[in-house]
Amino acid sequence: MNSTIVEKILKEIEHYAPAHEGEHVGRVTAVGDGVVAIDGLSKAVMSEIIAFEETKDKKLAHAMEAQEVIYGLILNLEEDGVRAAVLGDTARVSEGMTVKSTGKILSVPSGEELLGRVVNALGEPIDAKGPFKNVTMMSVEREAYGVIDRKSVSVPMATGIKSIDAMIPIGRGQRELIIGDRSTGKTTVAIDTIINQRNEPAEKRPICIYVAIGQKESKTARIVAQLRAERALEYTIIVDAPASAPAALQFLAPFAGVAMGEYFMDKGRDVLIIYDDLSKQAVAYRELSLLLRRPPGREAYPGDIFYLHSRLLERAARLSDAKGGGSITALPIIETQDGDVSGYIPTNVISITDGQIFLISELFNKGIRPAIDVGISVSRVGSSAQTKGMKAVAGTLKLELAQFRELEAFMQFAQDLDKATADRIASGQRMVEVLKQKNGAPMPVEMQVAVLFAAQKQLFADVPVARVTETEAKLVAFLDGQASGVLKEIKTSGALSDDLKAKLAKVFEEFRLAHTELFAAK
Amino acid sequence: MENAYAQVLWRLIQAGKTPHDAVIALRAVLVTDGREVLLPRIGKAFERIARREMAKSRITLSIAREKDEHHAKAEAKNALEKLGLSDKDIHVQIDEDLIGGWRLEGGEYLVDESYRKHLLSIYNRSTNE
């Protein structure tokens, strides 16, 4: 033992003042699958944290070697005892073990120190970067702000994805569901949105929180690496409750994430939170509820499964100026089975959120990515947050694409098409190509406006469909290099004035002359 | 189901009914309801309740050495008074792992004044800084 430790121990002994106080305790009567039944603790309250006493019947030397204290969360208050979820390794809890009441409601740390860090559902760091020093504890369960404290959504939350920002715009404080089958790019949309926030000025940039629920550790590690490489981790907190974590932690993770976000919202900051995904949280909650012997309902989910998601998503809000004007924008993700959006959990979450982005396998397999079905995707409040510039170029886009999809289906049976129909189909095919976007490459709004304006002005009409994506990429590079001033003007004004339109038209003409090979053959 | 019946039986006895009368009354209800077959299971559930309730009222004082008993009992008496518990039936047991001091468990309370707890607390605070 080195001298520093000895000094510390001596100092501790000198200042030691034992508290001769009785602790409120109970005794474990049954343990199984992360849930314990406890006799006693009659004064415990719902969601209280309890501590399991592992050191009893152990010699001092063994007690000193013991790992950190195991905590539990009270979830059921019963007539003759309580039932609690173990927030750690259940194997360390045994029958007869003494359980102490802590008198504390579950809370997690939050603050600037958490930015760039990976934490578990209890807010404990899991990235080997050391403990937090200066944090504020935030209650995991908190009532959402009421009507008086809120104001309507009017500031855009740019995702950097053309098809979303143009046709399904999201505003700060909105709750927009991302829904689709497995492997349709749901997480990619969410991660691209986080990456795109680097295009926002630092003072307006939202704090991003990515909550991974029931995901593979490898997937989360890949996301962390991607965010780090894109310099997005510095304004992001990752809350990880992997598939290997107990069901209780998977159920708690989204609440922990939003509690961390509320710290920033209360300080007037904007927050973007991704719940990836709430279907897995619902499954974890079902598991926990069945183990807690709560009566099962439809699909064996407990009766309060709707309330689980509604009370979580209601915490997303845009606060009034009196409350600081902060916001939490929530992008929950739901995984569907075989495209069935009429399932229990999908319909619940659809009804809670302010719109949904549907991603479908058919488009994904055709190579149309992001595979968003714009026909059935909606944003109920975001359009009021769209910039004037975007509104000007995207006004009729959704209708045109929906018409194209109908004509496309009809085209399979028709032999000869009249010119108007053929033109509309050709235009639709090109628009689909323009809206394609690689993952990890979000586009700033001003660039999106310029590209969509080019499409509106039929710049791609003379380009073969197969070369539209290439042309668009070259146009983006050209605009970046030759028209950065115009882009800056669009960004600062947020509108597309006649003057800017004329300037862009001129740039497009220059682009056409510089890339005649693209426009040569139709 | 048997737990509910066992609870009723326990409460009847707590309310002053003799165990014999309580069982007769319960049996009559079970026969009327056609649930007489539950009786053995109710008996077992009742046993569990009785064991649990008795454990609640039992007070255990653990000490490291026999010679500490007198001093520990005096201190424990104060602690029990504070918690509003009776010091009539204190069961004393020796637990050498405590090193010294005493540990009192009774009702839903625990007062740990053992040297092991204090030493562990000092160790944890010194090493966690």
- B126: distance to nearest CA of chain A, Å? 6
Q: Where are the beta strands (DSSP E) in A33-78?
A: 35-40, 48-53, 70-78
- Residues A492, A476: Cα–Cα separation, whole Å: 19
The residues of A annotated with a catalytic role in the active site are 380
What pTM does this model have? Answer: 0.88
Distance from CA of B109 to the nearest CA of A (A): 5
Return the pLDDT at A67.
67
Q: Of A5, A22, A57, which has the smallest distance from its Cβ to B83's Cβ?
A: A22
CA dihedral B58, B61, B67, B73 (to 10 degrees): -80
Q: Which long-range contacts link A296-301 to residues 24+ away (Cβ below 8 Å)?
A: A298/A344, A299/A344, A301/A344, A301/A345
ipTM over 0.95? The verdict is no
Cβ pair A8:B126 closer than 8 A? yes
pLDDT higher at B32 or B79 = B32
From the number of C-beta atoms within 10 Å of its C-beta (0-12, 13-18, 19+), residue B81 rates as: exposed
Predicted local confidence at residue B128, as pLDDT: 67
CB distance B122–A63 less than 8 Å?
A: no
The encoded tokens of residue A116 equal: 């760039």
* Beta bridge mates, B102: B63, B113
Chain A: residue whose CA lies nearest to B76: A20
Residue B91 Cα distances to A182, B57, B103, angstroms = 61, 11, 12
Over pLDDT 70: what percentage of chain A? 98
Please name the member of B105, B117, B129 whose beta carbon is closest to the beta carbon of A8: B129
Chain A residues whose beta carbon lies within 8 Å of the beta carbon of residue B52? 39, 80
Å between B6 CA and nearest CA of chain A: 12
Asked if A55 and B120 come within 8 Å (Cβ–Cβ), the reply is yes
pLDDT at B127: 74
Going from the C-alpha of A456 to that of each of A396, A434, A459, the distances in angstroms are: 10, 11, 8
pLDDT value of position A324: 96
- CA–CA gap between residue A405 and residue A391 (Å, rounded): 22
User: Residue B46 and residue A69: Cα distance in Å, rounded?
Assistant: 35
Question: What are φ and ψ of residue A255, in 5° steps?
Answer: -70, -35
| Nearest residue in A to B120, CA atom | A64
Task: Compute the distance between CA of residue A20 and CA of residue A165 in angstroms, rounded to an integer.
Answer: 62
Q: Give the residue from B110, B114, B121 with the most A CB atoms within 10 Å of its CB, the best one to mutate.
A: B110
Report for A413-417, A429-433, B82-86, B104-108: range of highest mean pLDDT: A429-433
Output the DSSP codes for A234-277: GGEEEEEE-TTS-HHHHHHHHHHHHHHHHHHHHTT-EEEEEEET
DSSP calls for A433-464: HHH---TT----HHHHHHHHHHHHTTGGGGS-
| A143 in contact with B, Cβ within 8 Å | no
Q: Which pLDDT score is estimated for B129?
A: 57
Binning pLDDT at 50, 70 and 90, where does residue A385 land? confident
Option in B105, B108, B120 nearest A60 (CB): B120
Q: Which residues in chain B touch residue A64, judged by CB atoms under 8 angstroms apart? A: 120, 123
Cα separation, A507 vs A457, whole angstroms? 12
The residue in chain A having the minimum alpha-carbon distance to the alpha carbon of residue B4 is A79
Helix (H), strand (E) counts: chain B:
5, 4
CA B53 centroid distance within chain: 6
Cα radius of gyration rounded to whole Å, chain B: 21
> What length does chain B have?
129
> What is the number of residues in chain A?
522
Q: Nearest by CB to A41, which of B49, B108, B125?
A: B108
Find the mean pLDDT for residues A468-488.
93
B56/A60 touch (CB, cutoff 8 Å), yes or no: no
Give the pLDDT mean for A65-72: 81
pLDDT of A245 reads 92
Lowest mean pLDDT among A234-248, A465-479, B35-49, B113-127: B113-127
pLDDT of residue A31: 92
- Specify the higher pLDDT residue, A312 or A94: A312
Q: Which residues contact A263 (CB under 8 A, 6 or more apart)?
A: A110, A111, A136, A138
Q: Is the pLDDT of residue A148 over 60?
A: yes
Q: Which residues of chain A lie closer than 8 angstroms to B55, CB-CB?
A: 27, 39
Residues A483-501, mean pLDDT to the nearest whole number: 92
Check CB contact under 8 Å for A79 and B7. yes
Is pLDDT of A20 > 70? Answer: no
How confident is the prediction for chain A on average, in pLDDT?
91
Q: Which residues, other chains included, contact B81 with Cβ-Cβ below 8 Å and sequence gap of 6+?
A: B87
CB spacing of B113 vs A18 below 8 angstroms? yes
Assess A78–B contact: CB distance below 8 Å, yes or no: no
Q: For the segment A38-64, what is each residue's pLDDT rounded down to a tens digit?
A: 988 988 999 899 999 887 777 777 777
Contacts of A124 in chain B (CB under 8 A): none
Is B52 close to A80, i.e. CB distance below 8 A?
yes
Chain A partners within 8 Å of B123 (Cβ): 9, 64
User: Which has more confidence, B42 or A395?
Assistant: B42
- Spatial separation of the C-alpha atoms in residues A442 and A87, rounded to whole Å: 38
The yes-or-no verdict on residue A2 having pLDDT over 80 is no
How large is the average pLDDT for residues A208-216? 97
b/e B93-106 (16+ beta carbons within 10 angstroms → b) = eebebbbebbbbbb
With 70 as the cut, is the pLDDT of residue A414 above it? no
A43–B contact, CB cutoff 8 A: yes
Q: What is the DSSP-derived secondary structure letter of residue A141?
A: S
- Judge whether A26 is closer than 8 Å to chain B, CB to CB: yes
pLDDT at B72 (0 to 100): 87
CA distance A66 to chain B (A): 11
Tell me what pLDDT residue B32 has.
93
At residue A520 the predicted structure's pLDDT band, cuts being 50, 70 and 90, is: low
State mean pLDDT over A1-27.
Answer: 76
| Residues A98-128 pLDDT 10s | 999 999 999 999 999 999 999 999 999 999 9
Residue A30 φ then ψ, to 5° = -155, 140
Q: How distant, in Å, are the alpha carbons of A170, A182, A218, A278, A350 from that of A359?
A: 16, 10, 23, 16, 14
| DSSP track, A332-374 | EEEE-BTTBTTSHHHHHHHHHSSEEEEE-HHHHHHT-SS-B-T
Helix (H) or strand (E) holding A488: helix A484-493
- What mean pLDDT comes out for the span A433-441? 93
- Count the alpha carbons within 13 Å of A507 in the hemisphere toward its beta carbon: 24
Residue A82, chain B, CB below 8 Å: the answer is no
pLDDT at A511: 93
Give the model confidence (pLDDT) of A170-205 as tens digits. 999 999 999 999 999 999 999 999 999 999 999 999
Residue A519's pLDDT band (cuts 50, 70, 90): confident
Residue contact B125–A12, C-beta within 8 A: yes
pLDDT for position B107:
78
Could you tell me how far CA A367 lies from the centroid of its own chain? Answer: 25
Tokens standing for residue A311:
């009370």
A68 in contact with B, Cβ within 8 Å:
no
Decide: A270 and A200 in contact? Cβ < 8 Å.
no
Count Cβ atoms within 10 A of the Cβ of residue A173 and give its class: 0-12 exposed, 13-18 middle, 19 or more buried: buried
Position with higher pLDDT, B78 vs A310: A310
CA-based nearest distance B89→chain A, Å: 18
Peptide bond preceding A370: is omega within 30 degrees of 0, i.e. cis?
A: yes
- pLDDT of A45 reads 92
Name the average pLDDT for chain B: 86
Per-residue pLDDT of B1-20, as tens digits, reads 788 899 899 999 999 999 99
